[in-house]
Amino acid sequence: MYAFINTVVRILKKVIPEPVVALFRPLYHRALALLMAASYGFPARKLTIIGVTGTKGKSTAAEMLFAILRAAGHKTALLSTIRFAIEETSEPNTYKMSLPGRGFAQQFMKKALDADCTHLVIEVTSESVLQQRHWFLSLDGLIVTNIQKEHLERHGGFEGYVAAKRQIVEALARSPKKRRILVTNEDIEESRAFLATPGVTEAVSFSARELAELASGDASVRFDYAGTHFSLPLPGTFNAMNALAAVKMAAAFGVKTATSAKALATLAPVKGRVERIEAGQDFIAVVDYAHTTDSLRALYYDAFPNHRKICVLGNTGGGRDTWKRPEMARIAEAECELVILTNEDPYDEDPRAIVEVMAAAMEKKPQIIMDRREAIRAALRAARAGDAVLVSGKGTDPYIMGAHGQKIPWSDSAVVREELDRLHFLRSEARRESLEHSD
């Protein structure tokens, strides 16, 4: 059904004028949500569905909860920005959407049911609310990691963005499930306000003050909670907060804290989220999705505070969130020894113009290398032993989005690995030639 609807919609878009499409778009999304849920037999009603939303940390928190539920013996599926997984089976999400539309979630839930899954963890975004993709998810639980400034143009300002997040919470409150559990960040005013949402049967808060003996290193974070010691193979106190949210949601479904701690201690690296690329180099190379001011600060100040930093960044999403361009540039200038500005996802904007706005906000002139591979290559070649090369903005995004819908296949992690291998080869050759000349 999903493939059929996808084909029909593509054909209709070509023959129906855009003004007509815009007029009927809200009705179309609602009708499609109902049709697709019904066509797959409302699969969400037969699964325990836990949503994860928020500005930052959604994918990581979802991965953590997925690992915990599996460790507790539940057959679990995962639908996230990074990947689609049913137990051990996994494939990357190449849609460049956290929650693909046209009934994709309903199709995936049916597939999870057919594989005898009992639980499903799903990312739900503010963008998906605009297309009613959060309808008929029949949530049993929802994590709100945090609320920060993002997608302001898309939602008509910060209040509109918060309202979209509130609609996801209200979808939980309207769910037909008997238990409707909300776990939300108490440290942020906007997400704390969700605790009073009518219809939520269990409202659970989490806060940084609950993290005792908190310590973060280059490759791990440790803390104590509820009499249990946690050690995660991920850096940054922000990951401790993601873990706390996942642990509290799991506890609401009967998972023991010790089980959660054991699952998180062996958590696999989360692709594109403070992902370290190792190729035998004597410096740190990291790929991260950081594409907001808050996430960039967390990457620079929190995860790698004690290293000389070489930072590669652009500004994700031409035509949106223009306010953050100078702010992100100033954050990079304040913390990075060398800043290299480059292309990310300009869409229909002039990529050079985006970068020039960022450069104009900096007192010290940055390097500008518009070819993203060349920018990464330059950063890696500039690194010295003990440095941290931080490539931010795209994470696992599979394309660089250009004008007129152009999609250029891309992988930051693959390019970093390729350029590290190339650098290793060049340095090996240089050492060999030096030895030959000295004989």
Query: What does CATH list as the number for 275-426?
Result: 3.90.190.20
pLDDT (0 to 100) of residue 68 = 98
27 φ, ψ (degrees, to nearest 5): -65, -40
Residue numbers in the chain where pLDDT is lower than 70 = 1-6, 8-10, 12-15, 17-18, 20-24, 438-439
The pLDDT tens digits of the residues spanning 39-65 come to 999 999 999 999 999 999 999 999 999
Structure tokens at 12: 């209709």
Cα separation, 229 vs 233, in Å, equals 14
Q: Are strands 399-401 and 228-232 parallel, antiparallel or unpaired?
A: unpaired
Cα separation, 85 vs 88, in Å, equals 7
The pLDDT tens digits of the residues spanning 330-373 come to 999 999 999 999 999 999 999 999 999 999 999 999 999 999 99
- The most distant pair of C-alpha atoms in the chain lies apart, rounded to whole Å, by 81
pLDDT (0 to 100) of residue 321 = 86
The pLDDT tens digits of the residues spanning 125-183 come to 999 998 888 999 999 999 999 999 888 888 889 999 999 999 999 999 999 999 999 99
CB-based contact 147:165 (threshold 8 Å): yes
Q: 371: which DSSP letter?
A: S
- Nearest of 302, 314, 373, 384 to residue 349 by alpha carbon: 314
Q: Are strands 388-392 and 309-313 parallel, antiparallel or unpaired?
A: parallel
| Residues of each domain in the chain carrying CATH 3.40.1190.10 | 2-265
Provide the CATH topology of domain 2-265: UDP-N-acetylmuramoyl-L-alanine:D-glutamate ligase (3.40.1190)
Supply the DSSP string of 123-167, one letter for each residue: E--HHHHHTTTTTT---SEEEE----S--HHHHTSHHHHHHHHHH
